[in-house]
Structure 1
Amino acid sequence: MQPISILLLIISYFIALFILSYFVGRNEISNNDSFFKANKQSPWYLVAFGMIGSSLSGVTFISVPGKVEASQFAYFQIVLGYILGYLVIGTILLPLYYKLNLTTIYTYLKERFGNYSYKTGAWFFLISRTVGSNLRLLLVANVLQILVFDPLGIPFWVTVSATIFLIWLYTFKTGIKTIIWTDTLQTLFMLIAVGICIYVVSVDLGLNISNFSNYIAESKFSKIIFLDNVSSPRYFWKQFFAGAFIAIVMTGLDQDMMQKNLTCRSLKDAQKNMFWFTIVLTIVNFFFLIMGLLFTEYAIKNGIDAHGDNLFPILANNHLGIIVAFSFILGLIAAAYSSADSALTSLTTSFCVDILDIETKHTEREQVKIRKRVHFYFVIVSILVILFFKYGFSDKSIIDKVLKYAGFTYGPLLGLFAFGLFTKWRIKDKLSPFIAIAAVVVSLVLNSNSKTWFGFEFGFEILIVNGLLTFIGLILIRSQQN
């Protein structure tokens, strides 16, 4: 595709979002109940469908298909673990959140342990989501910059700033209520893109309905279960339980994801949402892997040098025609921006409620003014974070490591919530921030040196270790008044 064609696609995409945002918010008063909770009137099926887009970032859109050549379908072991994690969310966490009628999920920590634990949980989320969501957007923005904006002579800082301001414009009035609907549209765009890509490359490979399943099953890249090497990061049980805990912490303990669930009319609706979301997300991830398999087979068959994260972009833009190129760009921006807009809203919500305590310290009118300012400030923060990593670190591997390490901040949340749910002990609340920080530091050291020290390489299961260290630390600071 020509750069001007891609630019017109991006403009059309945002126009569609603005039109949808207008109809969602035209009869709404800009109040915090609408911005934070969507007045608790969201249809569960819209929430379930829209959460697919939020769960799959632009990085996922590129990386999951690119992993198939090196790892086959090993990633699906993690996805199977998600099912167990979402079961825990639906049966344990959602009933707790609805019982307490929470605006942000970290308020639970205040009621269970005290203010220090509450602020610790909120700050860990804010730091992780601010860094993680903006770095994911940066990685996608780099792709679009090369394809579109560099040929047009538009500087990177202009495109990033304009993008985030556009996201702010269609979310500033009704926040999560708008996000529920725009996420649904963006998820639809992304799934259509994946479907088109699979269809086109299948035709090029000579596949049809009768031989498609056999082709996938017989491919050397379609192996799912790996039980032969316990020390391998791909070992089934390591990835399965890592997937379960990833789902629990990065969905069930993440304000960004759970804020959508808390907009449902009732606990029953929220649980239906989680049930159907689990089914659809599992299927969607499997189709991403199928797409990766087909792309890999196509590249090998045609002698194309495209591997890893470069596989999808190279094939889509240079070898599979205009329809796949169009679908790639559409799916990429849908996946990237559906994560970015919900992150901006959840960060605003958490900072206002958890850090500034606006619900208890200010009148309703003052709350709205503060929320609008905070929302805008996070726009500025997002731009600065992206530009800092863009111009401060030329080595992409450093950015990848920072993105990975941002996930370590979910370990203390896992430990805090697990300790609160499965014990009746109280703790010395003032010490909980030190326990959380220590758990992250020890986990980082273990992750960096485990292969040298123990001949064992951690994968995603380091998250479990992180949470366990936090749990043990909380035991050590139990209050004697228990």
Structure 2
Amino acid sequence: MSPLAVILTVSGYIAVLFLVAWLSGRRADNAGFFTGNRRTPWYMAALAMIGAAMSGVTFISVPGSVAADSFSYMQMVAGFTVGQLIVAFALVPLFYRLKVVSLYQYLDERFGIVSHRAGACFFILSKMLGAALRVYVVCAVMQLLVFGPYGWPFWANAVVTVALVWLYTQRGGVKSLIWTDTLKTLCLVGSLVLTIVFIARALDFGGTELIREVSASPMSQIFFFDNPASDRYFWKMFVGGIVVLVAMTGLDQDMMQCNLSCRTPRDAQRNIVLTAFCQIIVILLFLVLGVLLYLYVDSRGLALPAKSDQLFSLVAVDGGLPAIVGIVFVLGLISSTYSAAGSAMTALTTSFTVDLLDGPARYDEQRLTRVRHRVHLLMAACMTLVILGVGYLADDNAINLFFRIVSYTYGPILGLFLFGILSRRRPRDRWVPFVALAGPVLSALLQYAAAERWGYRIGFELLVYNALFVIAGLFLLSLGRRETEKS
């Protein structure tokens, strides 16, 4: 696939994306940017959330991971499903009852302004790092396909990508993202299904043969109960999936902005439940695609790439398949990236404006709009810098690196919310940031000690230990204080 074909595909998608964003966001005010005016039909939110839960990391990394991890990711997806139900029936009613714009306003009411801002700061850090990693993965592919052949440096690649994301999200916010995420869902799922069809045809597989070959492959093993010390052990991944989903969706401003844009809590719950079951099917298809990619490489005698994240792009673009496969690959990759980065930038802008600047309370509508635009530009600049920094650290399978980041940065948020919801104690607010910082540090020390002294690898369940350290610290800060006392 030539660089020109890639450019034309990307340009066509971006043109459609900007048209959808303009049509949906041309009359958006600040309430439309932050909450979508809470008028989104639940089925539209569900379509948007199917795509919003996926990113370029999922698109690139999950298929390539099957050689090392088989279908073990489905164990985590089972945990995701349970986590979605917890979010739907425990957190959604709470947030609707409080009528929050930002989720972290709950921490202000429960503990105080310092806790509120500490939670928001950890979210901003988490989302910025996670979004930058997602965009970096795609920028790396685009560097190979387009920017490299034309002699453009990687920093120019990152600047162009983030600038386009900034342009299409600056006006409509959540009101636009519902529609652009729906477009992403259609493009991503469509490209996934079409790629499976074309590779199956190239391997001379009909429907029955495809199922038989994938099922017979050792890469299709789902459950791992044999070694509790392994990262793939079922209970570690299942429990980790529950906790990661609650933290990354239920306590994540990015994901919950779309859910809370529905008219009623009941609509939001319908949306989340439908999204949970659709997510199972979509991720299973990604894993099936991974097996087919390895079977295709083996049948054609192609050399495996140095990194598993490069497998999909190698086969789709340079694997001898029809040009349409490369086009749908680029379309799925670009749609997942721009949408994920756009929703992250919108959520970062919302959290910074509402949680750290207290914008809706301090400014009138006109001044708030100006402040929001400046913050939005600041978030774009920061994301570009972090993408360049991530390039020096992305030496691992991207999906694993992503969840390692999540385990450290979402732990304090999870601990704060769990302590607030499950207890009536009120810690000393001014000391909460120190406890929030101690959680990731103690988790890292525990992870190192477990590996060095006992040979036990702490995997995705690290987020649980992180949250427990924070909860223990909050309990100590609450000793000797009345339940209703504020500092």
Q: Which interval holds the TM-score relative to the shorter structure?
A: over 0.9
1:454 is aligned to 454
Query: What is the CA–CA distance in structure 1 between the aligned matches of 2:47 and 2:416, rounded to whole Å?
Result: 30
Query: What is the CA–CA distance in structure 2 between the aligned matches of 1:13 and 1:449, rounded to whole Å?
Result: 48
Asked whether 1:171 is paired with 2:169, we answer yes
Q: What SS class does the counterpart of residue 302 from structure 2 fall into?
A: coil
1:66 is aligned to 64
Query: What is the CA–CA distance in structure 2 between the aligned matches of 1:385 and 1:223, rounded to whole Å?
Result: 36
1:309 is aligned to 309
Deviation at 1:313, TM superposition (A): 1.5
Task: Note the alpha carbon deviations across 1:193-224, whole angstroms, 9 max, x for none.
Answer: 10111001111222212333233222222111
Alignment of 1:328-367 (within 5 A): 328-367=329-368
Alignment of 1:47-66 (within 5 A): 47-66=45-64
Query: What is the CA–CA distance in structure 2 between the aligned matches of 1:64 and 1:400, rounded to whole Å?
Result: 7
2:73 is aligned to 75
Deviation at 1:114, TM superposition (A): 0.8
Query: What is the CA–CA distance in structure 1 between the aligned matches of 2:439 and 2:46, rounded to whole Å?
Result: 33
1:325 is aligned to 326
2:194 is aligned to 196
AA in 1 matched with 2:209: N
Asked whether 1:463 is paired with 2:469, we answer no
Q: What SS class does the counterpart of residue 304 from structure 1 fall into?
A: coil
Residues 234, 53 of structure 1: alpha-carbon distance in 2 compared, 3 angstrom cutoff = same
Q: What SS class does the counterpart of residue 85 from structure 2 fall into?
A: helix
Contact 2:66-2:219 within 8 A present in 1 as well:
yes
Query: What is the CA–CA distance in structure 2 between the aligned matches of 1:152 and 1:51, rounded to whole Å?
Result: 36
Scaled by the length of structure 2, the TM-score of the pair is 0.95
Q: What SS class does the counterpart of residue 211 from structure 1 fall into?
A: helix
1:475 is aligned to 475
AA in 2 matched with 1:435: V
Query: What is the CA–CA distance in structure 1 between the aligned matches of 2:368 and 2:145, rounded to whole Å?
Result: 42
Query: What is the CA–CA distance in structure 1 between the aligned matches of 2:93 and 2:393, rounded to whole Å?
Result: 46
Deviation at 1:403, TM superposition (A): 4.7
Query: What is the CA–CA distance in structure 2 between the aligned matches of 1:340 and 1:119, rounded to whole Å?
Result: 23
Structure 1 portions without partners, runs of 5+: none
Deviation at 1:31, TM superposition (A): 1.9
Moved more, 51-60 or 262-271: 51-60
Deviation at 1:314, TM superposition (A): 1.3
Task: Note the alpha carbon deviations across 1:391-450, whole angstroms, 9 max, x for none.
Answer: xx3873599997555311100111111111111111111111111100110112222332
1:20 is aligned to 20
Task: Note the alpha carbon deviations across 1:31-60, whole angstroms, 9 max, x for none.
Answer: 210110111111211211112222211121
Query: What is the CA–CA distance in structure 1 between the aligned matches of 2:223 and 2:400, rounded to whole Å?
Result: 27
Query: What is the CA–CA distance in structure 1 between the aligned matches of 2:400 and 2:81, rounded to whole Å?
Result: 27
Query: What is the CA–CA distance in structure 2 between the aligned matches of 1:427 and 1:173, rounded to whole Å?
Result: 39
AA in 1 matched with 2:322: G
Residues 394, 481 of structure 1: alpha-carbon distance in 2 compared, 3 angstrom cutoff = closer
Q: CA RMSD in A?
A: 1.7
Alignment of 1:126-141 (within 5 A): 126-141=124-139
Contact 1:52-1:277 within 8 A present in 2 as well:
yes
1:249 is aligned to 247
Moved more, 156-165 or 7-16: 156-165
Task: Note the alpha carbon deviations across 1:437-480, whole angstroms, 9 max, x for none.
Answer: 00110112222332112221011000111011111111111152
2:229 is aligned to 231
Contact 2:394-2:401 within 8 A present in 1 as well:
no
Question: Number of residues paired by the alignment?
Answer: 478
AA in 2 matched with 1:225: F
Deviation at 1:244, TM superposition (A): 0.6
Query: What is the CA–CA distance in structure 1 between the aligned matches of 2:399 and 2:219, rounded to whole Å?
Result: 25
Residues 394, 374 of structure 1: alpha-carbon distance in 2 compared, 3 angstrom cutoff = closer
Query: What is the CA–CA distance in structure 2 between the aligned matches of 1:100 and 1:118, rounded to whole Å?
Result: 14
1:162 is aligned to 160
Q: What SS class does the counterpart of residue 221 from structure 1 fall into?
A: helix
Alignment of 1:295-306 (within 5 A): 295-306=293-304
AA in 2 matched with 1:337: Y
Contact 1:232-1:457 within 8 A present in 2 as well:
yes
AA in 2 matched with 1:13: Y
Deviation at 1:82, TM superposition (A): 0.4
1:406 is aligned to 405
AA in 1 matched with 2:432: S
Contact 2:22-2:172 within 8 A present in 1 as well:
no
Asked whether 1:87 is paired with 2:88, we answer no
Task: Note the alpha carbon deviations across 1:101-159, whole angstroms, 9 max, x for none.
Answer: 11011110111111111111000000111122012211210110111111122333333
AA in 2 matched with 1:277: T
Which of 257, 269, 272 aligns to 1:271? It is 269
Scaled by the length of structure 1, the TM-score of the pair is 0.96
Contact 1:190-1:334 within 8 A present in 2 as well:
yes
Q: What SS class does the counterpart of residue 218 from structure 2 fall into?
A: coil
AA in 1 matched with 2:175: K
2:215 is aligned to 217
Query: What is the CA–CA distance in structure 2 between the aligned matches of 1:252 and 1:123, rounded to whole Å?
Result: 17
Deviation at 1:303, TM superposition (A): 2.6
Contact 2:225-2:233 within 8 A present in 1 as well:
yes
Task: Note the alpha carbon deviations across 1:173-212, whole angstroms, 9 max, x for none.
Answer: 1211101100110111111110111001111222212333
Contact 1:306-1:315 within 8 A present in 2 as well:
no
Query: What is the CA–CA distance in structure 2 between the aligned matches of 1:446 and 1:205, rounded to whole Å?
Result: 47
Task: Note the alpha carbon deviations across 1:350-406, whole angstroms, 9 max, x for none.
Answer: 00000000111122221111111111111121222223444xx38735999975553
Q: What SS class does the counterpart of residue 458 from structure 2 fall into?
A: coil
Contact 1:389-1:399 within 8 A present in 2 as well:
no
Query: What is the CA–CA distance in structure 2 between the aligned matches of 1:303 and 1:228, rounded to whole Å?
Result: 34
Query: What is the CA–CA distance in structure 1 between the aligned matches of 2:451 and 2:405, rounded to whole Å?
Result: 21
Query: What is the CA–CA distance in structure 2 between the aligned matches of 1:478 and 1:69, rounded to whole Å?
Result: 48
